[in-house]
Amino acid sequence: IIGLNRYRNGTDDIPEVKLARTPRAKQQLQVDRLKKFKKKNVEKAKRALDKLVDVVERGENCFPALLDAVEVSSLGQITGRLQEVVGRFRPMV
């Protein structure tokens, strides 16, 4: 669901939305591609992530280092390293 109209008049028809599921074979293909990507970029990712962490710790503009990191690291690797440095956002409730 992208959005919801809060002020409906009660007579609106709600369309049925069919849930899209990714086939298992495609899921496995993506997992395999990610493993291959990580294996291929082990050393490059380590250097890029170390550089990113260093820039963040110094309080500098991290965007150039982030662009370098996304070329050789997964989103999970990047967010994991950044969480080590700055923590994880927790909304105040």
Compute the distance between CA of residue 87 and CA of residue 81 in angstroms, rounded to an integer. 9
Using the predicted structure, report yes or no on whether residue 9 has a pLDDT greater than 80. no
Of 90, 85, 87, the C-alpha closest to 59 is 85
Q: Where are the domains of the chain?
A: 42-88
- Stated pTM of the model: 0.73
Query: pLDDT band for position 18 (50/70/90)?
Result: confident
Structure tokens at 80: 């994991």
**pLDDT on residue 5:** 65
**pLDDT on residue 3:** 65
DSSP state of 63: H
Q: Are the CB atoms for 52 and 83 separated by under 8 Å?
A: no
